[in-house]
Amino acid sequence: MDRVEPVPRFAPLSPTPPAAPLSFWAYLRAIRTNAVTIWTERAYQEDAERRDLLGRATLLVNTPEAIHRVLVDNPGNYRRTPASIRILRPVVGNGLLLSEGEAWRHQRRTIAPALAPRMLPLLAQHVVATTADHLDRLAAGPAAPVDLLAAVQMLALDIAGRSMVSLDMATFGPPMRAMIAEFAADLSRPHLLDMVLPPGVPTWRDLRRARFRARWMRLIEQIVDTRLARPECPAGASRDLFDLLRAARDPETGAAFDRIALRDQVATMILAGHETTAVTLFWALVMLAATPAEQARVAAEARAIGTDATAVPRLVRTRAVVQETLRLFPPAFVLVRQAIGPDRLGEQDVAAGSIVMIAPWVLHRHARFWRDPAVFDPDRFMPDAPPPPRYAWLPFGTGPRVCVGAQFALTEATLALAMLLARFEVARLDTEPVLPAAVVTLTPSRAPAFRLSPR
């Protein structure tokens, strides 16, 4: 057997948690600027962290029992919060992410088959073809400086467009990314009134969000119209998620999704399906640029095994790097719910109206669940390693509202990373740390410059 060189240990810098609970105003500022700093250092050691905000309890829970109760056993008692609805509705409309009750069940039953395990080989072909195109473009450009954050964002958007609606994103991609950046810089950040007013009462920021929503949805409608102009698939055959959505009928009324419902689903799937995977790829590249021995190991695996659409199960090291990246940098860093009625979570009483948080960011760095939690160590996810404790690794959530694209996301990130590293050696041009900044997803504080050298 080949000798594997030991990889020097590397712990990326991350924001320091406060030693004591933040003051009310500091807490509000943290939610707007970097929400992973709202939890104190004790949160990473204890079962729960509770604080009151304007008379309402806000509870972070870390135990498997409490997480199971909220997400699996009693999810009907925990709905999305007014702030999440205000912030996400303008960009995803009434699609799967924000729907509830019967509407949610119907949408989930329609969409899940398009992302089921048996669809992965087909989806993987889209990933391979799209990534190959994007890597050719990178190879044709200068070796440095390369903005890999922008590159993986466009790549993931193109993969989402091709696999969900069979359209390449050359036309729609750049305006979509520009609008996402505009939204991320301002309207996606929760302010006090976003959190305290019920969703039916608009804040002045909601009025600006409504204007943004009108522009954004016009762009998504162009995608839907372009796709609707294509001939319909023969009955029983589906090219992509869009065909499945178009063919779906409401089990009770027999009604099809109308153009607006199709638009909201397309917005949801493209947005939820690319931003998260893009940041995963980005953080994985930051980690591998900082650990050249680990990078060499992933590149050697990709070259030995190949990166065709069937390679994922054999790309075990690359997949372990992706899983370890999702541990240290979970794009969905917190799942937030509001209790409809009272409940009890372990030792904690939950009153109706309380906010309950399950934070992959905290769970993934919790002292009780992980040895050396701050260290980047893909060995934790190798097939011979013991599985992580229950609910200690939760990048895709769990229960009925678990991420519908989880398997696709893992396939996509593993293949795209392997293809990139098989072709290029990745290095940073500066040594300044890149810190995670949590707003809607866990994005980097800045886009550092990289060098890509052909292997």
Q: Name the site residues for ligand HEM (rule: CB under 6 A).
A: 96-97, 108, 115, 268-269, 272-273, 276-277, 280, 331-332, 335, 395-397, 401, 403-405, 408-409
With contact defined as beta carbons under 8 Å apart, do 122 and 301 qualify?
A: no
Give the Å distances, CA to CA, from 74 to 82, 344, 400. 20, 11, 10
State which residue, 356 or 426, has the beta carbon closest to ligand HEM. Answer: 356
Instruction: Output 18 or 223, the one with its CB closest to ligand HEM.
Output: 223
CB of 453 to ligand HEM, least distance (A): 27
Quick one: 286 or 404, whose CB is closer to ligand HEM? 404
Task: Report the residue number, 40 or 99, with the smaller CB distance to ligand HEM.
Answer: 99
Give the nearest distance from C-beta 385 to ligand HEM in angstroms: 21
* C-beta nearest to ligand HEM: residue: 405
Q: Select 170 or 402, whichever has its Cβ closest to ligand HEM.
A: 402
Considering beta carbons, is residue 115 or 356 the nearer one to ligand HEM?
115
Contact 405, 431 (CB under 8 A): no
Least CB distance to ligand HEM at residue 25 (A): 27
Is the Cβ of residue 127 or residue 305 nearer to ligand HEM in the bound state? 127
Q: Min. distance of Cβ 75 from ligand HEM in angstroms?
A: 9
Q: How far is the CB of 207 from ligand HEM (least distance, A)?
A: 26
Structure tokens at 297: 């190991």
